[in-house]
Amino acid sequence: MSEYGFWKTAEREPNRRILADLDGKSLTAHELASEANRLTRALRKMGLVPGDAVATCLPNGVEMIQAYLATFQAGFYLVPINHHLVASEVGYILADCEAKALIGHEQFAAICRGAADEARLPPSGRLSVGKIEGFTSLSTVTAGLSGDLPEDRIAGQVMNYTSGTTGRPKGVRRTLAPVDPDMMGSLYALFLAMFGVQPESGNVHLCGSPLYHTAVLMFAASSLHFGHEVVLMDKWTPENCLVAIEKHHVTTSHMVPTQFHRLLSLPESAKKKYDLSSLRAMIHAAAPCPVDVKRRMIEWWGPTIFEYYAASEGGGTLVSPAEWMRFPGTVGKAWPSSDIKIFDDDGNEMAVDKPGTVFMLLGSNDFKYHKDDKKTAANRRGQYFTVGDIGYLNSEGYLFLCDRKADMIISGGVNIYPAEIESVLLTHPKVADAAVFGIPHTDWGEEVKAVIEPADGVAADQRFADEILAFCEGKLAKYKRPKTIDFITAMPRDPNGKLYKRKLRDPYWAGRDRAI
């Protein structure tokens, strides 16, 4: 089973290029392994022991991968933190996970200093890439240490913090197993096999989204453990993505529907300019993908678009391009060792084609929300857990998602799913991005509001709003159509495409309580 795993590759093929970026920098497997081994020794020298947490506030770069590998072989919890958070939010996570060390990048210096101070992290635990006042550089703490494989290796875990819909984020913590890191690395590698990805040489994984996201790091790490080269993009743009695919002969990537939408918005001349024939498995998740968007991507990129449904807590389902063409809109069937059930609010299992809350089988992949037993218990039904999504199963067991339960609009007692409406709005050629949510209404409880980011050069005026409303008439039932439209210059999304819908919705509800 331990045939795979990053360190096995470094041992077998030390000179294989394993990591690269768009600036032309690259590392061999031996070079990356040596950097990770030195950091493992440095962290142990600082007094860290298995079970301790190491937090990072880093861009996509060698140091983030180095931190992952160093903690993965030492039994530490790696806590990747979103560097777009403010200092107090980062400080909360540092304190909550009881981090013994923070590795921060100098471009986030102010955030890292403020967070470390708030969490009262001692100076010895403050490490930096570049210069941060009061921090010790990573190169200093690893200088002179051996790059050989350290002794007493044990697999660590990544502990991601979920953003949630209310309250503070919670860490998804799994019990450490006394397993060899190479054995665990092999299991991670074989995860890719579910998508038809094989260990053969020539595979190149493009990482274009931030590595602080659960799935992005998971797929990049799994690719490393399979012996594939990983190409890092710190700033994703549609055309640079195509440039990277052609230049590095990319075969796999992990993407989100927002990136597909932006790629499809490129001029036809740009789409035809690049050689994309190397693509094999471009895997996407994170949000329901509008049917029209995915169909157009398959027409462009061929049968390479795979999809899955999962969460930081676990998963899940997957669907191949051929299966999706049979059942457009599905996120797939339960993957091996998983299962999906749909329950109503009273715990009754729903019939075929009837929407309810989606629950996934825990299996051996148990977890708890760090320091929140109440939330851990609340998301369980026996051996199944939920993250609050609404969906249904068809007669052949394929899952279709409707929306997040917290985003669902209840208007006059009728359930309305914003994702369905957003999918229609995004097919309008003048719409760059769209968000739909419920706002207060005296009689109905809620009414449908749409916020639109116009495409470049499109005037955000009443004429355009009327055009959009007319566009919806033949595509959505009357009760689903937006009653009013507001415009925004740029939608509040993080670099991975996650929409912060609360930032749009909350002002309309100021001083009022939502039922969900």
- Highest mean pLDDT of the ranges 41-45, 187-191, 195-199: 41-45
| Residue 319: strand pairing partners | 307
Q: What is the mean pLDDT of residues 228-235?
A: 94
Give the residue among 444, 437, 485 at the shortest CA–CA distance from 464: 485
* Band (337; pLDDT cuts 50, 70, 90): confident
Q: What is the mean pLDDT of residues 259-271?
A: 92
Instruction: Supply the pLDDT for residue 156.
Output: 97
What's the CATH fold of domain 338-407? Luciferase; domain 3 (2.30.38)
**What confidence tens digit (pLDDT) does each residue in 86-111 have?**
898 899 999 999 999 999 999 999 99
pTM (2 d.p.):
0.82
% of the chain with per-residue pLDDT over 70: 96
Give the residue among 312, 203, 252, 265 at the shortest CA–CA distance from 457: 265
| Residue 449: strand pairing partners | 437, 484
Q: What is the mean pLDDT of residues 463-476?
A: 92
pLDDT at residue 166 is higher than 60: no
Instruction: Supply the pLDDT for residue 41.
Output: 98
- Answer yes or no: are the C-beta atoms of 438 and 450 closer than 8 Å: no
Q: Which of 103-117, 125-139, 336-350 has the lowest mean pLDDT?
A: 336-350
Instruction: Supply the pLDDT for residue 376.
Output: 76
% of the chain with per-residue pLDDT over 90: 66
* Whole-number Å distance between alpha carbons of 365 and 362: 5
* Band (163; pLDDT cuts 50, 70, 90): low
Q: Calculate the alpha carbon distances from 102 to 91, 144, 212, 307, 514 in Å.
A: 10, 21, 14, 34, 37
**What confidence tens digit (pLDDT) does each residue in 422-461 have?**
988 999 999 999 999 999 887 788 899 999 999 999 999 9
pLDDT at residue 320 is higher than 60: yes
* Band (1; pLDDT cuts 50, 70, 90): very low
Q: What is the mean pLDDT of residues 68-83?
A: 96
Q: What is the mean pLDDT of residues 167-187?
A: 87
Q: What backbone phi and psi angles, to 5 degrees, belong to 481?
A: -70, 145
> 411-509, superfamily in CATH?
ANL, C-terminal domain (3.30.300.30)
The long-range contacts involving 333-342, CB below 8 angstroms and separated by at least 24 positions, are 333/396, 333/397, 333/398, 333/399, 334/360, 334/361, 334/397, 334/399, 335/194, 335/308, 336/194, 337/361, 337/363, 337/364, 338/363, 339/384, 340/393, 340/397, 340/399, 341/381, 341/384, 342/391, 342/392, 342/393
pLDDT at residue 363 is higher than 70: no
Q: Calculate the alpha carbon distances from 80 to 63, 160, 207 in Å.
A: 12, 6, 16
Q: What is the mean pLDDT of the chain?
A: 91
pLDDT at residue 495 is higher than 90: no
pLDDT at residue 253 is higher than 60: yes
| CATH class of the domain comprising 29-179 | alpha beta
Total Cβ atoms within 10 A of residue 456:
7
Quickly list DSSP for 278-344: T--EEEE-SSPPPHHHHHHHHHHH-TTEEEEEEETTEEEEEE-HHHHHHSTT--BEEPTT--EEEE-
Instruction: Supply the pLDDT for residue 165.
Output: 44
Question: Is the fold of 338-407 the same as that of 411-509?
Answer: no
pLDDT at residue 314 is higher than 80: no
Q: Is residue 271 within a helix (H) or strand (E), and if so which, with residue range?
A: helix 268-271
Instruction: Supply the pLDDT for residue 216.
Output: 93
Domains in the chain: boundaries: 29-179, 338-407, 411-509
Instruction: Supply the pLDDT for residue 39.
Output: 98
* Band (513; pLDDT cuts 50, 70, 90): low
Instruction: Supply the pLDDT for residue 2.
Output: 53
**What confidence tens digit (pLDDT) does each residue in 482-491 have?**
999 999 999 9
Q: What backbone phi and psi angles, to 5 degrees, belong to 76?
A: -95, 160
pLDDT at residue 515 is higher than 50: no
